[in-house]
Amino acid sequence: MSEPKRQQQAMIRNFSIIAHIDHGKSTLADRILEYTGALSNREKQEQFLDSMDLERERGITIKLQSVRLPYRAKDGKEYILNLIDTPGHVDFSYEVSRSLAACEGALLVVDASQGVEAQTLANVYLALDNDLEILPVINKVDLPSAEPERVREEIEEVIGLDASEAVMASAKAGIGTEEILEKIVNEIPPPEGDPDSPLKALIYDSIYDAYRGVITYIRVVDGSIKKGMKIRMMATGKEFEVTEVGVFAPGPIRREELTVGEVGFMVASIKNVKDTRVGDTITDAVHPASEPLPGYQPINPMVFSGMYPVNSADYGDLREALEKLELNDASLRYEPETSGALGFGFRCGFLGLLHMEIIQERIEREFGIPLITTAPSVIFHVYKTDGTRVEIENPTHMPPQQEIENVEEPYVQAAIMVPNDFVGAVMELCQSKRGNYRDMQYLDANRVNIVYDLPLAEIVYDFFDQLKSGTKGYASFDYELIGYKSSNLVKMDILLNGEPVDALSFIVHRDKAYHRGRALVEKLKELIPRQMFEVPVQATIGNKVVARETIRAQRKNVLAKCYGGDISRKRKLLEKQKEGKRRMKAVGNVEVPQEAFMAVLQMDDDKK
Amino acid sequence: MTPGAVYIHIPFCTHKCHYCDFTAYVVGGQPVDDYLDALEREMARTAAEVPPGRIHSIFIGGGTPTVLEPQQLEKLFNDIRRHFPDRAPGIEFTVEANPGTTDPSKLAVMREGGVNRLSFGAQTFRPDLLTKIGRVHTVDDIGHSVEQARAAGIDNLSLDLMFGLPEQRVADMEVALDRSLELEPAHFSVYSLKVEQGTVFHKQWLQGELPLPTEDDELEMYQLTRRRLEAAGYHQYEVSNFSRPGMESKHNATYWLNEPYYGLGAGAHGYVGGWRHQNVKGVSEYIRLTREKRPIADSHRVPFVEEMENHLILGLRLLDGLDTRVFRRRYGRDLGDVFGPVVDDLLRRGFLHTEGERLALTETGLLFGNEVFASFLGEAVI
């Protein structure tokens, strides 16, 4: 009975593609789809894998896709290739590791001019952790700037992979596609696993569908899953009845069952993506597996910020928007919070800055709700003098200075790859961001990998922007959380017109407090339009004012001339003025524009 | 309601000023006679479509209407009389003039044609400043023109002054006020400079080469104007307008009361039968179109809500404010029902005050008029 399954199992190859942004992952995926006939030219969208508008605009993958490709190899046999996509950003590295865990092999795509980047390296390590067979592909070899030999050496030296067999490809020009497919068939092992064991299927993503509920993307490791089966999620213990299974080819196609080694989807009237957690194991509720698959971790947001509607009337709509986004995003957290300055809103937790920006942009764009987002913060561990410990994810909740014994903040280990010339700039930046030097390796004559331990709070502050500008965009960057360390941190408050604005409070290292306070009040002076009265802007620690600026009063605002014919034009001017006002939030008597709440991120105080 | 006011645009000038974004072309080489013929055609078509009733005010603006030669002026006045024959006894008939462009023969024709008010664009009394803003008249031309007008029997005179000009100081404004008060006009319009797109000033401003006075100085010029004119017996009846008692501009009141008017000539705006329209701006296109139809570039029916908003935006510019009973009569709604929350908010914040049935700007409201006007947009409760 299981013999046909074993035969099929031998013909399956599960793989993903690891590549840095712009190194050609999506184009290569398109070529493979075309070559195997899974995607006819007619139905071909520019880049199949990145299906959300936002993904395409930013060139990143947020939601994963997979596709099942039939391929008749040169040996005359018919293979089933499953291409599983991986997200392309450090915020989503756990998701990457789970989708890699669903594969036996990976294509490592490296740009023939750019070489290996930090992101790529991080993902290769994840792939090696999962014992994947890695097939190097040097892409864009047809460009004039291509240096495939240098890149080949770099792959060998930096990653320690044998790249002598690397495929020289140009996804754009369609060069090397067949060679890649042959290598997939010949070098990536077929899936192991026992068709007769109790079901174990790995969840590597899920999406919410308004009609069918949650669609869970799975890889069957042992046993098989079919319609009507009672299943259990091993981490959450939740049980469901399977209503549908199928594969993507590339459109969804229903199947009787999914068996060992197969990749596809499963529907089971699940209402919330939080019930199908990435990395969890699905098993048979009646004959459960004894052990889940290794590697599951509950997802914990690392970055927090407040999201408030500009118009308080939009609060209900904002809640609805978050509910809808949450259906599709198991890592998004939110809970209601109230700010003295901003009114009712939500404290939201994200995997990282990009994740935060994506959610913010989707709320504004897809739901049409103008938002005020407060500066991102991390979770601080505060040990109080009374012996208790509190976790602070909103600076406003920081206990008074005299009740604090000690504060710890999260640290990450960051790997930064740059051309030689920028080593000085990067080290200077890391030092200014309170980094501790760990290591430095020369990857080749021109490129260096620099390793620093850095406070996460500094990363979410403006590290990315400064790294980018300090290295002319040549640096690539990756990090992982390494734990908490004690730091001399203080809470800084901002007062507008004498009133503290809770949404502008932030936590900062004492040594940087003065500079940052000064820079922030200057920036706020620039961003907040003049009001009808003078507005002092102060930065304080405890009761001590460390910086002060004054926004001078606006003294008049009137159209000098207005006759009959002018009225249409004047209306336009007045409408513009009114629209500007709509995007502002009244804090006490002061009208504050949206950007001001993010101002703390827009300063380059460390350059002074 | 048939319009009781007529605006006629003469789009020619001897020279284009650096702040001007009106429809105006330098007169040399322009087909002025053809234009006047076209204007006559437009009058005929307009009067046929919307037959005029009794006319209370006529305003010929520009450009510089006084660049027309006496016989051209004469033709224009005859055409106006023919197509808009029914004149109210106290009609106000104004022609805009630049100092130095009037002479006794033109003035005689004007008086003959029924003109009884002249509005002179004096702007400033500092000679180098006049040059800098692109004016071609001299300080002496101003007094001279005023004298000539009076000699010709036209003594209802208005002077335009400007403040907030590049390099202008408060002291310059003081001189301008002193010198123009000596001329004892019946009326003043005092405007602050607004740098409009497409002007010489805008170009200079973009290049950072327009040394505008500070906001404090500009405000001081305005307040100085208000104090000096008030002290000299002129009362401020609108944001930018001052007059001797009873000498307020009737024509402009049409605009501020949101009442209809005919608008004729290239680039002119009109408000007739609930529609606002603008004519084509180009002279030759204007001439060509009038052969076939009314030379309208675009027009829109003013929606009810917009009409009420306009009523407030325009009406509150008058320092006496607006009469809520007139509002109710005209729109069939109580102002309080339509704009209650906005009005309450503005009253509370001290931008507006009420006096009997009238609603008007306070001193603060006057300086922050835009805040007040903008706050009505989109807020009507229907």
For residue A108, what is the domain's CATH number?
A: 3.40.50.300
The per-residue pLDDT for A326 is 82
Q: Identify which of B216, B240, B374 has the shortest CB distance to residue A555.
A: B216
Q: Which residue has the tokens 């919410």?
A: A208
Does A462 carry a binding-site annotation? Answer: no
Domain of A321, CATH number, reads: 3.30.70.870
The answer to whether the Cβ–Cβ distance between A562 and B222 falls below 8 Å is no
Cβ of B276 under 8 Å from any chain A Cβ?
A: yes
Contacts 24+ apart (CB under 8 A), B134-140: B134/B15, B134/B16, B134/B17, B134/B18, B134/B19, B134/B20, B134/B200, B135/B15, B135/B17, B135/B98, B136/B14, B136/B15, B136/B98, B136/B100, B137/B98, B137/B99, B137/B100, B137/B101, B138/B99, B138/B100, B139/B179
The per-residue pLDDT for A59 is 47
Interface test with B, best of A531, A551, A554, A561 (most B CBs within 10 A): A561
Beta bridge pairs of residue A273: none
* Alpha-carbon gap: B375 to the closest alpha carbon of chain A (Å): 7
In A122-262, DSSP assigns E strands to: 133-139, 167-168, 200-209, 213-222, 225-226, 230-233, 239-241, 244-248, 252-255, 257-258
Question: Looking at A487, A520, A540, which one is the last position of a domain?
Answer: A487
Whether A295 is in a domain gets the answer no
Cβ of B368 under 8 Å from any chain A Cβ?
A: yes
How many cross-chain Cβ pairs, A to B, lie less than 8 Å apart? 88
Whether A172 is in a domain gets the answer yes
**What is d(CA A558, CA B351) in angstroms, rounded to the nearest whole number?**
13
pLDDT at A44 over 70: no
pLDDT at A559 over 60: yes
Taking any CB pair shorter than 8 Å as contact, residues of chain A touching chain B are 532, 554-568, 570-571, 573-575, 577-578, 581
Question: Does B5-256 match B308-374 in CATH topology?
Answer: no
Q: Sign of dihedral through CA atoms A565, A569, A572, A574? A: negative
Opening angle at CA A361, ends A51 and A586, nearest 5: 165
- Comparing CA positions, the residue from A584, A466, A461, A460 lying closest to residue A531 is A584
Whether A429 is in a domain gets the answer yes
The per-residue pLDDT for A404 is 93
Whether A7 is in a domain gets the answer yes
Q: For the domain B308-374, what is the CATH code?
A: 1.10.10.920
- Which structural domain, as residue segments, surrounds residue A542? 493-602
Residues of A in contact with B296 (CB under 8 A): none
Name the more confident of A3 and B99.
Answer: B99
The answer to whether the Cβ–Cβ distance between B373 and A574 falls below 8 Å is yes
Report the mean per-residue pLDDT for chain B: 93
The per-residue pLDDT for A602 is 65
Which residue on chain A is closest to B307 by alpha carbon?
A567
Q: Identify which of A555, A564, A566 has the shortest CB distance to residue B367.
A: A555
Whether A61 is in a domain gets the answer yes
Opening angle at CA B364, ends B359 and B368, nearest 5: 95
**What is d(CA A326, CA A338) in angstroms, rounded to the nearest whole number?**
21
| Phi, psi (deg, nearest 5) at residue A422 | -105, 5
Residues B25, B284: contact at Cβ < 8 Å?
A: no
Question: Looking at A124, A157, A187, which one is the last position of a domain?
Answer: A187
Whether A361 is in a domain gets the answer yes
**What is d(CA B77, CA B44) in angstroms, rounded to the nearest whole number?**
14
The ranges assigned to domains in chain B are 5-256, 308-374
Residues A230 and A366 in one domain: no
Per-residue pLDDT of chain B (382 residues; tens, 9 = 90+): 799 999 999 999 888 888 888 778 887 888 999 999 999 999 999 999 999 999 999 999 988 999 999 999 999 999 999 999 999 999 999 999 999 889 999 999 999 999 999 999 999 999 999 998 888 889 999 999 999 999 999 999 999 999 999 999 999 999 999 999 999 999 999 999 988 888 889 999 888 888 999 888 999 999 999 999 999 999 999 999 999 999 999 999 999 999 999 999 999 999 999 999 999 999 999 999 999 999 999 999 999 999 999 999 999 999 999 999 999 999 999 999 999 999 999 999 999 999 999 999 999 999 999 989 999 998 888 7
pLDDT at A193 over 70: yes
The answer to whether the Cβ–Cβ distance between A564 and B269 falls below 8 Å is yes
Residue A565 is encoded by which pair of tokens? Answer: 């014919």
Residues A387 and A439 in one domain: yes
Residues A252 and A307 in one domain: no
Residues of B in contact with A590 (CB under 8 A): none
Does A216 carry a binding-site annotation? Answer: no
Residues A108 and A180 in one domain: yes
DSSP reduced 3-state for A325 = helix
* Alpha-carbon gap: A584 to the closest alpha carbon of chain B (Å): 14
The per-residue pLDDT for A48 is 46
- The percent of residues above 70 in pLDDT, for chain A, comes to 93
Beta bridge pairs of residue A68: A82
Please provide the DSSP assignment of B100-153 as one string: TS--HHHHHHHHHTT--EEEEEEE-S-HHHHHHTT----HHHHHHHHHHHHHTT
Does A23 carry a binding-site annotation? Answer: yes
The per-residue pLDDT for A30 is 85
Q: What is the DSSP letter of B318?
A: B
Whether A262 is in a domain gets the answer yes
* Alpha-carbon gap: B258 to the closest alpha carbon of chain A (Å): 8
The per-residue pLDDT for A585 is 82
The answer to whether the Cβ–Cβ distance between A567 and B314 falls below 8 Å is yes
Interface test with B, best of A551, A555, A569 (most B CBs within 10 A): A555
The per-residue pLDDT for A151 is 92
Least confident among A293-302, A345-354, A360-369, B132-141: A293-302
Question: Looking at A256, A284, A312, which one is the last position of a domain?
Answer: A284
The answer to whether the Cβ–Cβ distance between A578 and B263 falls below 8 Å is no
Least confident among A12-21, A85-94, A350-359: A85-94
The answer to whether the Cβ–Cβ distance between B370 and A554 falls below 8 Å is no
> How many domains does chain A divide into?
5
In chain B, DSSP assigns E strands to: 5-10, 12-13, 25-26, 55-62, 87-97, 117-123, 156-163, 187-192, 235-238, 241-243, 262-264, 269-272, 275-279, 296-301, 322-323, 352-355, 358-361
pLDDT at A95 over 90: no
Q: Which are the contacts of A405, defined by CB distance < 8 A and separation ≥ 6?
A: A383, A384, A385
Side chain identity, residue A450: I
Residues A69 and A158 in one domain: yes
Residues A71 and A150 in one domain: yes
The per-residue pLDDT for A198 is 95
Q: For the domain B5-256, what is the CATH code?
A: 3.20.20.70
Which residue on chain B is closest to A572 by alpha carbon?
B374
The answer to whether the Cβ–Cβ distance between B370 and A559 falls below 8 Å is yes
Least confident among A91-95, A531-535, A598-602, B297-301: A598-602
The answer to whether the Cβ–Cβ distance between A563 and B252 falls below 8 Å is yes
Instruction: With cut-offs at 50, 70 and 90, classify the pLDDT of residue A462.
Output: confident
Residues A462 and A577 in one domain: no
Residues A208 and A227 in one domain: yes
Q: Identify which of A557, A563, A568 has the shortest CB distance to residue B255.
A: A563
Side chain identity, residue A213: G
Mean pLDDT of A459-479: 82
Whether A192 is in a domain gets the answer no
Residues of A in contact with B191 (CB under 8 A): 560-561
Q: Identify which of B309, B368, B375 has the shortest CB distance to residue A557.
A: B368
Residues A245 and A342 in one domain: no
Residues A418 and A442 in one domain: yes
Mean pLDDT of A318-331: 85
Residues A13 and A98 in one domain: yes
- Comparing CA positions, the residue from B12, B124, B27 lying closest to residue B60 is B12
The answer to whether the Cβ–Cβ distance between A559 and B378 falls below 8 Å is no
The answer to whether the Cβ–Cβ distance between B370 and A581 falls below 8 Å is no
Instruction: With cut-offs at 50, 70 and 90, classify the pLDDT of residue A332.
Output: confident
* Alpha-carbon gap: B219 to the closest alpha carbon of chain A (Å): 7
Instruction: With cut-offs at 50, 70 and 90, classify the pLDDT of residue A62.
Output: very low
Residues A319 and A400 in one domain: no
Q: Identify which of A559, A560, A565 has the shortest CB distance to residue B263.
A: A565
The answer to whether the Cβ–Cβ distance between A559 and B7 falls below 8 Å is no
pLDDT digits (tens, 9 = 90+) for A245-271: 999 887 888 999 999 999 999 999 888
pLDDT at A605 over 60: no
Instruction: With cut-offs at 50, 70 and 90, classify the pLDDT of residue A593.
Output: confident
The answer to whether the Cβ–Cβ distance between A562 and B371 falls below 8 Å is no
Mean pLDDT of A411-422: 89
Report the mean per-residue pLDDT for chain A: 87
Residues A479, A459: contact at Cβ < 8 Å?
A: yes
Residue B379 is encoded by which pair of tokens? Answer: 């807020």
The per-residue pLDDT for A60 is 46
**What is d(CA B316, CA A163) in angstroms, rounded to the nearest whole number?**
79
Sheet of A333-339, strands arranged across: A333-339, A343-350, A303-309, A371-373
The answer to whether the Cβ–Cβ distance between A567 and B261 falls below 8 Å is no
pLDDT at A180 over 60: yes
Instruction: With cut-offs at 50, 70 and 90, classify the pLDDT of residue A97.
Output: confident
pLDDT at A45 over 90: no
Does A300 carry a binding-site annotation? Answer: no
- The percent of residues above 90 in pLDDT, for chain A, comes to 49
pLDDT digits (tens, 9 = 90+) for A292-321: 999 888 777 888 999 999 888 999 999 999
Which residue on chain B is closest to A567 by alpha carbon?
B310
